[in-house]
Each structure stands twice: as structure tokens, then as C-alpha cells.
Amino acid sequence: MFTGIISDLGSVGEITRGQAAVRFKIITSYPTDSIKIGESIACNGCCLTVTAKGKDTFSIDASKETLDKTTLGSWVTGSKVNLERALEVGDALSGHLVAGHIDGVAEVVNIQSELGSKRYKVSAPQELMKFIAPKGSVALDGVSLTVNEVGAETFGVNIIPHTQVVTTLGDMIAGRTLNLEIDLLARYVSRSLEALNK
């Protein structure tokens, strides 16, 4: 589990394409002697398993399913990556509970400046819009954000100056895509209501 609070802004150092998966070597400021092979690290919101590590780097493997269902297939050498290590018992829950399981790919439709913040209008797959509510939470590229407003096909979020600096969201432009994870609580409430109405 994660919280959507990004703790490192890494980058893709190397890409190796194999038959079963693509291996990404991620450059990080995390102390790699504390990273264990097999642990999970969220990379742009995707919960991925560490398969190797080196000095200032760790590697993760992405299957065809992951590449098809997320934005990782568009990564190139030098791509910036939002990183978050998994929660440990006793850690502060500063954002919201994030599983690292991407529900779909969203697109930035419009960006407006607002008192130093950036207000994003984001379109999401129609089947996911029912899970997004005003003042609820979403994770975009792994960043925990509060939803400002919801329309028929889009929703709005504010990116404050701090978030612009410490995550990839500060460099977004209209037309870019983002990994979207809906709120876990919204998913389970919706599922429970469906079961009650059957």
C-alpha cells in the first residue's frame, strides 16, 4: 500500500526489452542499500517489484499487460518518474490509501494558472467517472490529489507550487496522459451498493 505522497523524483536510466517484459533501470536518490530485491515501489503510481539494484539505481520489470494498461509504454531514457516506497507500520498516512493498481489512463484536457497553482481539467474513461466525486481523492501518476469538481466526462484538480516542483505534474501540458487510480473506498462502496441492489 501507498499514500500518494511522492518521496523521490527519479528518472529512467536504461531500458532493456526482453521477450516477456521490459526492464526499466530507474535512477533514484533513495539509499539503494535499504532497498530489498522483491520489494514494491510505486513508479508513476504503478506498484512494481524491484528485480535488481545498483549504485543509485533499481530495476523493475513491466509486462505487456502493464505496458498496455498504463503510460509506462511511452517511457524513454530520461523520462521523469514519481517514486514512492511502500508503507510501513507506523508511517504517517498523509495522502490517501493507494494500492498502486492503475484503473485506466486519463488525459490532461486543459491547464489554467490560478494564484501560482495549476488547475487541470482531466478526462477519464467513462466507466471510471462514476467513482470520482467532488472533494474525493484520486491518484494521478501516483500523486494523491483532491477532486475539485466533476463534469460528465472530466474532473478538475489543483496542482500547488510544491507539487509542481517535487513531482512530474509541474511539467504537464494539455494532451499528455496520466496513470489514474480511483479511490479504493469509492470502489468498494460502489461494489457494495451494486450487491445490495441485486
Q: Across residues 57-74, what is the average pLDDT?
A: 96
Strand partners, 168: none
| pLDDT over 70 at 192, yes or no | no
Characterize 79-88 residue by residue with b for buried, 16 or more Cβ atoms within 10 angstroms of its Cβ, and e for exposed: bbbbbbbeee
- Decide: residue 178, CB within 10 A, 0-12 exposed, 13-18 middle, 19+ buried: buried
Confirm if 179 and 105 have CB atoms less than 8 A apart: yes
Class of domain 104-196: mainly beta
**H-type helices in the chain, by residue range?**
64-69, 126-129, 161-166, 184-196
| pLDDT over 70 at 90, yes or no | yes
Amino acid symbol at 94: S
| CATH 2.40.30.20 residue ranges for the chain | 8-85, 104-196
Q: Across residues 156-172, what is the average pLDDT?
A: 97
- Displacement of CA 188 from its chain's centroid (Å): 20
| pLDDT over 80 at 195, yes or no | no
Q: Above pLDDT 70, what percent of the chain?
A: 96
Confidence of residue 94 (pLDDT cuts 50, 70, 90): confident
Using CA atoms, how far apart are residues 149 and 156, in angstroms rounded to an integer?
5
Q: Residue 87 has what pLDDT?
A: 87
**CATH (residue range 8-85):** 2.40.30.20
Q: Are strands 21-27 and 80-85 parallel, antiparallel or unpaired?
A: unpaired
Using CA atoms, how far apart are residues 122 and 181, in angstroms rounded to an integer?
13
| pLDDT over 80 at 190, yes or no | no
Q: Residue 89 has what pLDDT?
A: 76
Confirm if 140 and 95 have CB atoms less than 8 A apart: no
Q: Residue 194 has what pLDDT?
A: 67
Using CA atoms, how far apart are residues 71 and 88, in angstroms rounded to an integer?
27
Of 187 and 128, the one with more pLDDT: 128
| pLDDT over 70 at 59, yes or no | yes
| pLDDT over 70 at 129, yes or no | yes
| pLDDT over 80 at 127, yes or no | yes
